[in-house]
Amino acid sequence: MKKFVIASTCLVLAACGGSNSDGSSKTTYSSCKITDSKALFAEDRSNDLKQCWNAKGDGYESQGDALQWCKRTVGDYISSTYLIGHTVEYAVESTYCPK
């Protein structure tokens, strides 16, 4: 009986982990992308929505750490791309950026 409980526990834990179809880990945050843009010009909005960055290494285990990294990354993008910034929304995901 004890072996059955241990084996069952191992199977449940193995099912929780694993990889997404793109090879990224299901248990980490692997990318950051802009999900909405309030830029004045349509071309700028379109360009913003194409932005996506992959985290280094295996990504972030903590959503808070991933969001801090994403906020810095998006801020760097906005300040290096536009003279006058604008509002964007962003999100972190467990998958890599689409190619």
Structural domain includes residue 56: yes
CA distance 71 to 62: 14
Q: Is the pLDDT of residue 37 over 60?
A: yes
- What is the per-residue pLDDT across 45-54, written as a single tens digit (0 to 9) for each? 999 999 999 9
Q: Is the pTM of this model over 0.85?
A: no
User: Taking Cα atoms as reference points, which of 86, 99, 91, 88 lies closest to residue 23?
Assistant: 99
DSSP state of 87: -
CB-facing half-sphere around the CA of 15: CA atoms within 13 A:
6
Structural domain includes residue 80: yes
Structural domain includes residue 8: no
CA distance 72 to 27: 22
Structural domain includes residue 79: yes
- Its domain, for residue 31, covers 19-93
Q: Return the structure tokens found at 26.
A: 């299901």
Q: Please give the tally of structural domains in the chain.
A: 1
Q: Is residue 80 left, alpha or beta, with left meaning phi > 0 and alpha meaning psi from -120 to 50?
A: alpha
